[in-house]
């Protein structure tokens, strides 16, 4: 059962924000999200945390600058998700621009999810060695690649690790590591995405090359405008679902501003076109739910090199062709996911409801026919539906009996720490694991699945309180009738929202004047609140509303046949007695 709980907006803070010129509704919303001063909403680039604060960013810049001056071969080793692809594109575009025609070369390699696995493994290093690189640069991976870095050292290849994942007990012996979560780094934005880390390294490199007199000299290499990469940074940051602290909001806000102003890289423009979205109205929801999934589809079902190519090409026609391929892959991914979700829900029928006293504190799922590229999405969907930490497994491609798992968590359980605990309690059970607080991956043997399920539930039961296991939907309370307008909806759309800084969700009581079902799964409503009557829609509804309801909803703009009107996007309904 879902419990609605309104966020508290401290009246004094709200009043102070209003005094500083923040509109009253926004002042209330921001006060409830911990914003205490209008200055915290200034997303100008000058307010970014300086690159000098990121431990070893200057060392990475010196390493890269030396490589460029020595006409070295630089190879970026990426990850196969949206964060990794955008980080790779940032690196390729920035490094090629700064190397110019000096003779230094910049190329990339993306491991295949199904055959190569994750990170800078020894096998990936051997594959990279065929390109004869002098320097390997990882993006969005590498912090756990002890063996891969050791293999690169054996081959005489230097390594620069840029990552944001949590490190293990030991760090790889790389030439340089840039990761805000490594021991000793006091960079304040610990939740920066992999693409953000790479953007910071490129900022540091530009400053280093500038200090060396590299730009505008006899070589004629122009100093690049790295701001042109912020649309890539915004996309990777939002798609990786990292917490939008102020620094991340600056990165995302600047990227969205460029999109709305028509200053997009061709690949992102093409992805907007394939998704049928207007970049002039870009927002976090577009990046997280429309553009990101299309790019991710390449890594889930095919080869993320296709996605990277879309992001690094300057040929608009080629970018559009690739974007259409990615759109087709995303449609295929949706079909696969729908079948897997049906199988998962069928398996869950034997499990108690999430509010049952005897319901398991964590869920482990496996089906021999599941697609390993889609299990992460499946785990996320089941986690949302059952409000439990979930691990979903699929068989690997080899004949070694391995299962590849992807997990998603709920507040209260740090997923990577839970895996670490399991690894200590059952040494050897986890062949590989890593990740974040809310998302992680693990590899086990199929024969060990029951033991993993038992230990996962045990770890969750120890760390999650009864309150954690009750689904709470935080709202911003009621919305006065005067705010149900297109102007208010646009006002809210223009702001930067995301993970850890959620978009406004309101709750109110309504009478239901009319209802009908669309496509057998969506609910179209006509609601009344006092003198106000307004249309509403709930996608994939489960509860048929009675004559009186309490609803949690978002205020949006519905566009139909060129006509705009305010509409409520309903996320939760509770029936009330009339």
Residue 135 pLDDT greater than 80, yes or no: yes
What is the C-alpha to C-alpha distance for residues 139 and 90, in angstroms, rounded to an integer?
10
What is the C-alpha to C-alpha distance for residues 23 and 312, in angstroms, rounded to an integer?
40
> What confidence score (pLDDT) does residue 357 get?
44
Q: Angle between the 305-312 and 266-275 helix axes, to the nearest 10 degrees?
A: 110
- CA distance to 117, 128, 378, 407, 490, per residue, from 369 (Å): 19, 32, 13, 18, 44
Q: Which long-range contacts (CB under 8 A, 24 or more apart) does 43-49 make?
A: 43/249, 43/250, 43/253, 43/254, 43/496, 44/250, 45/227, 45/250, 45/254, 47/246, 47/250, 48/247, 48/250, 48/251, 49/187, 49/188, 49/189, 49/247
For residues 341 and 521, the answer to whether their CB atoms sit within 8 Å is no
What is the C-alpha to C-alpha distance for residues 394 and 388, in angstroms, rounded to an integer?
19
496-506: buried (b, 16+ CB within 10 Å) or exposed (e) per residue?
A: bbbbebbbbbb
Mean pLDDT for 151-163 is 98
**Residue 233 structure tokens:** 């940074």
**Residue 134 structure tokens:** 């002098």
Residue 311: in which H helix or E strand, if any? Answer: helix 305-312
CATH label, 351-463, candidates 3.20.20.70, 3.10.310.30, 3.40.640.10, 1.20.1250.20: 3.10.310.30
CB neighbours of 374 closer than 8 A, spacing ≥ 6?
A: 300, 301, 333, 336, 337, 340
> What confidence score (pLDDT) does residue 348 get?
84
Residue 90 pLDDT greater than 90, yes or no: yes
Mean pLDDT for 155-173 is 95
What Rg do the C-alpha atoms of the chain give, in angstroms?
24
Among residues 58, 375, 377, 378, the alpha carbon closest in space to that of 241 is found at 377
Report pLDDT digits (tens) over 443-477: 999 999 999 999 999 999 999 999 899 989 999 99
> Could you tell me which residues are beta bridge partners of residue 138?
77, 161
Q: Confidence class of residue 399 from pLDDT cuts 50, 70 and 90?
A: low
Give domain limits for the chain: 47-328, 351-463, 472-576
Residue 578 pLDDT greater than 80, yes or no: no
Report pLDDT digits (tens) over 199-242: 999 999 999 999 999 998 766 799 999 999 999 999 999 999 89
**Residue 558 structure tokens:** 């519905």
- CA diameter of the chain: 80
What is the C-alpha to C-alpha distance for residues 10 and 31, in angstroms, rounded to an integer?
6
Q: Confidence class of residue 397 from pLDDT cuts 50, 70 and 90?
A: confident
Query: Phi first, then psi: what are they for 279, rounded to 5°?
Result: -65, -20
> Could you tell me which residues are beta bridge partners of residue 523?
517, 538
> What confidence score (pLDDT) does residue 2 get?
85
> What confidence score (pLDDT) does residue 168 get?
85
What is the C-alpha to C-alpha distance for residues 416 and 182, in angstroms, rounded to an integer?
15
pLDDT over 90, % of the chain: 86
What is the C-alpha to C-alpha distance for residues 440 and 145, in angstroms, rounded to an integer?
16
Report pLDDT digits (tens) over 338-391: 999 899 988 887 655 555 545 789 999 999 999 999 999 999 999 998 999 999
**Residue 227 structure tokens:** 């701001």
Report pLDDT digits (tens) over 11-52: 999 999 999 999 999 999 999 999 999 999 999 999 999 999
> Could you tell me which residues are beta bridge partners of residue 531?
none
Q: Confidence class of residue 118 from pLDDT cuts 50, 70 and 90?
A: confident
Query: Phi first, then psi: what are they for 565, rounded to 5°?
Result: -150, 150
Report pLDDT digits (tens) over 491-542: 999 999 999 999 999 999 999 999 999 988 899 999 999 999 999 999 988 8
Query: Phi first, then psi: what are they for 270, rounded to 5°?
Result: -70, -35
CB neighbours of 42 closer than 8 A, spacing ≥ 6?
A: none
For residues 198 and 178, the answer to whether their CB atoms sit within 8 Å is no
Among residues 536, 539, 492, 488, the alpha carbon closest in space to that of 510 is found at 536
For residues 147 and 123, the answer to whether their CB atoms sit within 8 Å is no
CATH label, 47-328, candidates 3.40.50.2300, 3.30.930.10, 3.40.50.300, 3.90.1640.30: 3.90.1640.30
Among residues 64, 67, 17, the alpha carbon closest in space to that of 42 is found at 17
Domain 472-576: give its CATH code: 2.40.50.460
């Amino acid at each position: 059962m879902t419990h609605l709980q309104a966020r508290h907006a401290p009246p004094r803070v709200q009043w102070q924000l209003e005094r500083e010129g923040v509109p009253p509704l926004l002042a209330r919303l921001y006060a409830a999200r911990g914003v205490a001063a209008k200055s915290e909403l200034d997303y100008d680039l000058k307010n970014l945390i300086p690159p000098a604060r990121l431990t070893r960013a200057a060392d990475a810049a010196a390493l890269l600058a030396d490589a460029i001056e020595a006409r070295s071969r630089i190879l970026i080793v990426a990850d196969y998700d949206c964060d990794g692809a955008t980080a790779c594109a940032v690196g390729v575009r920035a490094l090629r621009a700064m190397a110019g025609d000096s003779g230094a070369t910049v190329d990339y390699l993306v491991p295949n999810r199904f055959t190569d696995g994750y990170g800078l493994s020894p096998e990936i290093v051997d594959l990279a060695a065929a390109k004869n690189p002098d320097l390997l640069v990882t993006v969005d991976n590498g912090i756990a690649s002890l063996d891969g870095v050791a293999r690169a050292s054996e081959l005489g290849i230097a390594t620069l690790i840029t990552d944001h994942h949590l490190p293990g007990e030991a760090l790889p012996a790389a030439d340089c590591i840039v990761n805000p979560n490594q021991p000793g780094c006091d960079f304040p934005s610990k939740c920066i995405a992999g693409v953000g880390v790479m953007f910071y390294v490129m900022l540091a490199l530009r400053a280093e090359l500038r200090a060396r007199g590299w730009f505008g000299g006899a070589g004629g290499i122009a100093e690049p405008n790295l701001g042109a990469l912020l649309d890539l940074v915004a996309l990777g940051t939002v798609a990786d679902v990292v917490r939008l602290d102020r620094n991340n909001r600056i990165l995302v806000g600047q990227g969205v501003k460029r999109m709305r102003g028509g200053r997009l890289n061709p690949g992102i423009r093409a992805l907007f076109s394939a998704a049928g979205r207007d970049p002039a109205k870009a927002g976090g929801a577009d990046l997280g739910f429309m553009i990101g999934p299309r790019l991710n589809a390449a890594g889930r079902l095919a080869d993320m090199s296709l996605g990277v190519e879309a992001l690094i090409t300057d040929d608009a026609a080629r970018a559009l062709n690739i974007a259409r391929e990615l759109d087709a892959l995303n449609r295929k991914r949706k079909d696969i996911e729908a079948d897997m979700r049906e199988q998962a829900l069928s398996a869950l029928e034997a499990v108690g409801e999430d509010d049952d006293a005897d319901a398991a504190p964590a869920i482990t799922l496996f089906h021999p026919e599941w697609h390993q590229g889609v299990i992460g999405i499946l785990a996320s969907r089941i986690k949302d539906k059952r409000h439990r930490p979930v691990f979903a497994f699929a068989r690997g491609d080899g004949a070694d009996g391995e299962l590849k798992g992807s997990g998603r968590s709920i507040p209260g359980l740090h997923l990577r720490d839970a895996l670490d605990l399991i690894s200590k309690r059952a040494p050897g059970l986890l062949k590989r694991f890593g990740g974040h607080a809310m998302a992680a991956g693990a590899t086990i043997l199929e024969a060990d699945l029951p033991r993993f399920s038992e230990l996962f539930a045990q770890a969750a039961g120890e760390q999650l309180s009864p309150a954690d296991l009750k689904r709470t939907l935080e709202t911003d309370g009621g919305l006065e009738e005067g705010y149900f307008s297109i102007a208010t909806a646009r006002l809210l759309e223009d702001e930067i929202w995301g993970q850890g800084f959620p978009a406004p969700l309101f709750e109110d009581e309504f009478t239901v004047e009319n209802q009908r079902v669309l496509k057998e799964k969506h609910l179209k409503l006509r609601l009344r609140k006092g003198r106000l009557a307004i249309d509403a829609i709930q996608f994939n509804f489960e509860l048929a509303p009675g004559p009186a309801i309490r609803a949690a909803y978002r205020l949006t703009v519905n566009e139909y046949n060129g006509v705009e009107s305010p509409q409520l996007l309903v996320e939760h309904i509770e029936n009330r007695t009339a």
